Amino acid sequence: MADTDLETRFERHALPLEYPFGISRGTRSETEVVTVHVEDGDGNVGIGAAGPSAHYGETAATVEAVLPDLLAVVEDVGDTHQLERIERRMRETVERNPAARTAVSIACHDLVAKRLEVPLYRYWGLDPAETLETSYTIGLDDLETMREKTETALERGYGRLKVKLGTDRDIEIVETIRDVAPEVDLFVDANEAWTPREAVARIERLAEYDLEFVEQPVPAENPEGLRFVYERSPLPIAADESCVTLEDVPRIADRCDIANLKLMKCGGLREARRMISTARAHGLEVMLGCMTESDASIAAACHLAPLLDYADLDGALLLAEDPYDGVPMPDGRIDLAGLERSGTGARLE
């Protein structure tokens, strides 16, 4: 099934967020994504997208700058079914642009599953019943707004919330959320904001609020600090900024409980599957997270849900508008069995 006449194109979209999205490093009110289309000679169109993160050195402009080289790799391989070779050659071509590579990886996986007329999870041999509920993120804001956002999240049926921390009022924030949502599954993300000693002291107080775990308490540049916190924390620790690529998994294995992977950090769907297996081999639990992204890329991440312990795939739920539609998420539950389309399920609304 070689593709002799592949056609490729890409376009940039600026997508407004429903609320300004605040984390310890800053606040944004829109996100820029780049969608990629790979079309075969039979009219099947694979859709993917990059949700670049400036924290990892990528922007929509850097994605657009390298996409011609990455799409040239796909055309040169000439057979979109050779996903392993495509991902490997893309990495050899532009190592430092994982979101751009992920966009192409997703588009090729979507195209292959569409050609085979199966949803992506089925191409991978996964059970759609083993799906998960995504967490929904409450970004940093003033306390009253965070309270309102939490109330709205509960009204929408979300049963697992993630709260951004890393401020001088972290305890008040969690107290406020718990006041509104005493029963909800809840975890927090400090996005590297604390020093190791601060983190231990804060987590000891946060542990009174029935939290599931704490994500990225200290800067990734301080791996010993992460170990210091892990060895003293009364709550489980998840590593996000400390866990970027496959090579990071063994490095964090003795200093956290949960590896938080993201497609936009690791560079592709096959690479993400290798990271999941490697994390399991090291005894870690696995969460798949995301950036603020369109459903053109979130849809693909959803198909990995049966392999995960935690799904943090609310990227498109945080948007005010998204030209794409993906896997249905009634009340935040990733409904793979309810997806009645082949491929990732991403399509223009």
Which one of the spans 116-124, 134-142, 209-217, 279-287 is the region binding Mg ion (CB under 5 A)?
A: 209-217
Closest CA to 134 of 295, 19, 265: 295
- What's the min distance (Å) between Cβ of 248 and Mg ion? 14
Closest CA to 132 of 316, 309, 314: 309
- What's the min distance (Å) between Cβ of 247 and Mg ion? 19
Which one of the spans 140-148, 182-190, 197-205, 302-310 is the region binding Mg ion (CB under 5 A)?
A: 182-190
* Geometric angle at alpha carbon 287, from 284 and 289, rounded to 5°: 145
Identity of the residue, 189 or 271, whose beta carbon is nearer to Mg ion in the bound complex: 189
Instruction: Tell me the sheet residues that pair with 13.
Output: 33
- Asked if residue 189 binds Mg ion (CB under 5 A), the reply is yes
Identity of the residue, 215 or 314, whose beta carbon is nearer to Mg ion in the bound complex: 215
- Asked if residue 240 binds Mg ion (CB under 5 A), the reply is yes
Identity of the residue, 66 or 266, whose beta carbon is nearer to Mg ion in the bound complex: 266
Q: What CA–CA distances, in Å, run from 173 to 144, 214, 231, 312? A: 10, 14, 25, 20
Which one of the spans 85-93, 161-169, 187-195, 276-284 is the region binding Mg ion (CB under 5 A)?
A: 187-195
Identity of the residue, 32 or 215, whose beta carbon is nearer to Mg ion in the bound complex: 215
Identity of the residue, 220 or 336, whose beta carbon is nearer to Mg ion in the bound complex: 220
Which one of the spans 107-115, 208-216, 220-228, 336-344 is the region binding Mg ion (CB under 5 A)?
A: 208-216
Closest CA to 131 of 260, 19, 258, 288: 288
Cα-Cα-Cα-Cα torsion 86, 91, 97, 101, nearest 10 degrees, comes to 10
Detail the DSSP E strand segments found in the chain: 7-23, 26-39, 45-50, 136-138, 160-164, 185-189, 214-215, 237-239, 258-262, 285-289, 310-311, 324-325, 347-348
The residue nearest Mg ion at its CB is 240
C-alpha to C-alpha distance for 174 and 207, rounded to whole angstroms = 10
- What's the min distance (Å) between Cβ of 162 and Mg ion? 8
- Asked if residue 314 binds Mg ion (CB under 5 A), the reply is no
- What's the min distance (Å) between Cβ of 155 and Mg ion? 25
Task: Please provide residue 8's backbone torsions phi and psi, each rounded to the nearest 5 degrees.
Answer: -130, 150
- What's the min distance (Å) between Cβ of 191 and Mg ion? 6
How many residues touch Mg ion (CB under 5 A)?
Answer: 3
- What's the min distance (Å) between Cβ of 166 and Mg ion? 10
Instruction: Tell me the sheet residues that pair with 137.
Output: 162
Burial class (CB in 10 A: 0-12, 13-18, 19+), 231: exposed
- What's the min distance (Å) between Cβ of 213 and Mg ion? 11
Binding footprint of Mg ion on the chain (CB under 5 A) = 189, 215, 240
